[in-house]
Amino acid sequence: MIDARRYNVCVKFTEDDGEPLYHGTVRELPDVSVYENTADEAYAAVVEVISDLQASFEAKGKYFPRPDDSEATASGRTTLRMSKSLHYRVTQAALSDDISLNQWLVEAAAWRLNGAQAAATVVAPNAISVNCDVGSGSVILKTSDSVMTRTTQRGQQVLATV
């Protein structure tokens, strides 16, 4: 039997009639959906559902979807095509932020996918907490060693260790 923790589980905060809940889903099993009071409970419930489903399918001799390991085989490299004008604008933004074009594009992709949490992971992979104020564009990352801030104002980004 496959370890249920190998599946791509997503736990997101949500509210239902003003009640805070955590919604757990599985990318490989789109019909699996659980709601719990904490993120840990939602994750544990999803893993339990996966294990129960596997056992049920196995007992009936039916095929059960395997975990998607495509992330493990991703190389981390890609070719990106864009218009010359967009390329110029992105290059200028990276220069004004004093970071490489590659880093700028990685952070832009992270923000697009998951907002501040993903961008924080790119900037500080060992961050233990993230506080984002979208109105001011400020992100504060707390690590075990230091506190770093990233402030965005009209495309200007500064990363400082305090």
Mean pLDDT for the stretch of residues 15-39: 92
Query: What are 54-66's pLDDT values in tens digits?
Result: 999 999 999 999 9
57-to-50, 52, 60 alpha-carbon distances in Å = 10, 9, 5
- Kind of pairing, strands 29-36 and 156-161? unpaired
pLDDT for 115 equals: 58
Specify the DSSP element, H or E, that contains 72. helix 70-73
Question: Exposed (0-12), middle (13-18) or buried (19+): which is 108, by Cβ within 10 Å?
Answer: middle
Q: Where in the chain are the domains?
A: 4-70, 76-161
Highest mean pLDDT among 2-6, 32-36, 112-116: 32-36
User: Is residue 109 pLDDT above 90, yes or no?
Assistant: no
List the one residue out of 8, 40, 41, 37 whose CA is nearest residue 25: 8
Query: What are 60-101's pLDDT values in tens digits?
Result: 999 999 998 776 677 778 888 989 999 999 899 888 888 888
* Global pTM value: 0.47
Pick the CATH number of 4-70 from 3.30.160, 2.30.30, 1.10.357, 1.10.760: 3.30.160
